A and B are shown apart, each in its own frame.
Chain A
Amino acid sequence: MEIKQKDPRFIFLRGKIVIFIIVALAGALAFLYFAGKQRGLFTKTENFYCVVSKATGVYTGMSIRLSGFKIGRVQNMELMDNGFVRITLSVEDKHTKWFREGTVAILTKEGFIGESYIEILPGQGALIKPNQTIKFFRQSGIEEIAAELKGEISEILKGIKETINYVNEPQGDIKKSIHNIEKISRNLIETTNKLNLLLEDMKDKTPSILAKSENTIEELTELIKSLQNVAKQLNALTTNFNEITKKDLTLIIEQTKRSMEDLDEILKSIKGLWPIREGIKKHEIKPLEADSYEK
């Protein structure tokens, strides 16, 4: 005897269950389809390769971008027999047109602490067929820039230290030059004093010179002789002074010039750093001038 279901909730229960299962399955399939599509599972891709000595910073799944748009991802990385690493770049089929001769891949970051990605810079030559190798570069991160700057700064500091040591060396050229200059100044003062004395003598002796012409001539001769000697001495001193200063000054100027060049390089590097470069006003490029009466 068949039991008749009287409760309205259980009428067509089997049908309801079947419809529920079908809807659930369709939902699950749709979800899987859209998730797969989102992840690019149904997108046709082509592979390109990069061979690098070190794959630090690169990971499977890393995004590959062109002008900021994602065009693929790193599919695989394998260590080759020669110790190099082969990175497989899986690129969407429609974007393979950007891969031309001269194309390079650059490992870069969004900002200094942002996510790493591989930027593709398209080349100008003929199209590259899939499964070929392209060049790979690594953009300097903050660590590399800091290390570079450190090297440059320490070089400059070393240079400055050397210059200071060179200046301070007791038996060095500069100390000697200063000593010589002091000597020259002292000699010059002595010479001036001598000249003054001579002039004083002349003044005192003028009346007697007039009185005694013979003596006067003799004294004048002596005076001329001594003046000649003084002039010779002065000449020698001046030549000596010139030689010393010429040599040292050239050295000092050269070293200063080198230090200034190094400083200029450092400033340029610092100017290129974010966020400093954001604060530097960019040079504005302007179109060709056109006036109101050209034609």
Chain B
Amino acid sequence: MRNRKKLLFLFLLFLLLILQGCYRAPMEEPYRVKEIESLIKRAKVASEKGNFKMALSLYEEALKKSRIIQDDNSTVVILLSLSRIYTSLDKIDYAKKFLSSAEELSKKTYLPEGLSEEIIFEKARIGFLLNENSEALLHKLIYSESPYMRIKSLNLLARFKMREGANEEAEELLNKALSMNNEISKIEQANTLRLLGELNTKKNKNKALIYLLRALSIDKELALPEKIALDMEILARLYRDMEDKEKAKDYFLRAFEIWKCLEREENQIRIMRELEIL
């Protein structure tokens, strides 16, 4: 009996030694991982400040390094971020290229659920911008475990529906997103309200006005100039339809000033045309 215990102990020790021997140190070099993380952080800050040129160069540097150490997770994060920057810069072809690389890599490696969902969402979003039918991608995401992902997928799906003219379905989705969004994401809350405002511009102008003013107040709170300009443009159109030309003009001019500061010529021209008609 005693010998059996000794034998068992020796066997376990032997097993432990084998396990220890089989352990492979991770291929990543810690200092390189830190370097990549720091580059990604700097790129994110630069992008948030609107310095896309700097953000692109930092992300590209991080991409080279993450590929050397075969850090697939970081590589996907960088590719996705690059795709998003190019979308903001209206270079959708580049954005698509980076997104498809991220997608390819995601098939070969294990990624956290959140990151895989972000890839799908981005695919749907680019599809929306290119007028492609990528609506089906969102049907899985609206049941995501992450409430934030659920809300933004509902909003994007509502935009698809609005484009198709299925306004009732869109309103249902937006109301669902609004009820779900209890301080989860203020940006998405403002997006939902803006979309609800847009939906109601024809059928119930007063309701639309309430939604849009709420969206504007949230965007002002968040200090997001692009969103504020968007809200103001939609509000101006609503006032124009309500035949309150003064307010319409005022909001158009304020939106024009913001687009001018952001150097968005296309948007400035659009408002100028609206003002000429007014």
Q: Please report whether the interface of chain B is mostly helix, strand, loop or mixed according to DSSP.
A: helix
Known contacts A114-B25, A287-B118, A288-B47, then 4 further A-B pairs from the complex at CB < 8 Å, ordered by chain A residue: A67-B68, A110-B25, A111-B24, A285-B73
CB of B21 within 8 A of CB of A293, answer no
Q: Which residues of A have CB within 8 Å of B244?
A: none
B152–A114 CB distance below 8 A: no
Size band of the A side of the interface?
20 to 34
A7 at the interface (CB under 8 A from B): no
B195 touches A293 (CB 8 A): yes
CA distance A122 to B65 in the complex (A): 11
Closest to A292 in B: B155
- For B209, the chain A residues whose CB sits under 8 A away are none
Chain A proximity of B28: nearest CB distance (Å)? 10
Q: Which of B27, B112, B115, B191 contacts A293 (CB 8 A)?
A: B191
Q: List 28 A-B contacts (CB under 8 A).
A: A67-B27, A67-B68, A108-B25, A110-B24, A111-B23, A111-B24, A113-B20, A114-B20, A114-B21, A114-B25, A272-B30, A284-B112, A285-B37, A285-B74, A286-B115, A287-B77, A287-B80, A290-B118, A291-B152, A291-B155, A291-B191, A292-B156, A292-B159, A292-B188, A293-B191, A293-B227, A293-B230, A294-B125
- For residue B47, which residues in chain A have a CB less than 8 angstroms away from its CB? 288
Task: Find out whether the CB atom of A292 lies under 8 angstroms from the CB atom of B191.
Answer: yes
Interface string of A130-167 (1 = CB under 8 A from B): 00000000000000000000000000000000000000
B88 nearest in chain A by CB position: A294
Q: Does A86 contact B (CB under 8 A)?
A: no
Question: In chain B, residues 29-58, which have Cβ atoms closer than 8 Å to a Cβ of chain A?
Answer: 29-30, 37, 40, 44, 47
Determine whether B81 belongs to the interface, using a CB cutoff of 8 Å to chain A: yes
User: How many whole Å from B69's CB to the nearest CB in chain A?
Assistant: 7
Is B101 close to A, CB under 8 A?
no
* A contact residues around B81 at 8 Å (CB): 287-288
Contact A113 B21 (CB under 8 A): yes
Size range of the interface on B?
35 or more
- Closest-by-CB residue of A relative to B24 is A110
Contacts of A292 in B (CB 8 A): 125, 152-153, 155-156, 159, 188, 191
Contact A290 B37 (CB under 8 A): no
A39 interfacial contact with B, CB 8 Å: no
Question: B-side interface residues toward A, CB under 8 Å?
Answer: 20-21, 23-25, 27, 29-30, 37, 40, 44, 47, 68-70, 73-74, 76-78, 80-81, 84-85, 87-88, 112, 114-115, 118, 121-122, 125, 129, 152-153, 155-156, 159, 185, 187-188, 191, 194-195, 227, 230
Contact A290 B125 (CB under 8 A): yes
Contacts of B153 in A (CB 8 A): 292
Provide the bound-state CA to CA distance between A248 and B188, in Å: 56
A121 at the interface (CB under 8 A from B): yes
Residues of chain B within 8 A (CB-CB) of A110 are 23-25
The residues of A that contact B80 with a CB separation of less than 8 Å are 287-288
A291–B190 Cα distance when bound, in Å, is 11
Which residues on B sit within 8 Å (CB–CB) of A274? 25
Interface string of A262-295 (1 = CB under 8 A from B): 0000000000101000000001111110111111
The interface bits of chain A over 95-132 (1 if a CB of B lies within 8 angstroms of the residue's CB, else 0) are 00000000000001111011000000110000000000
Is A207 located at the chain interface by the 8 A CB criterion?
A: no
Instruction: Please give the distance in Å from B124's CB to the nearest CB on chain A.
Output: 10
Residues from chain A with Cβ under 8 Å of B27 in the complex: 67-68
Chain A residue with Cβ nearest B121: A290
A5–B194 CA distance with the chains assembled, in angstroms: 107
A295 CA to B153 CA, complexed, in Å: 15
Query: Cβ of A285: which chain B residues have Cβ within 8 Å of it?
Result: 37, 40, 73-74, 77
A264 to chain B, nearest CB (A): 17
Nearest A residue to B69 via CB reads A67
Closest A residue, CB atoms, query B156: A292
How far does the alpha carbon of A113 sit from the alpha carbon of B47 in the complex, in Å? Answer: 44
Complex contact B188–A291 (CB within 8 A): yes
List of A residues within 8 angstroms of B25 by Cβ: 108-111, 114, 274
**Shortest Cβ gap from A117 to chain B (Å):** 10
The smallest beta-carbon distance between A278 and chain B, in angstroms, is 9
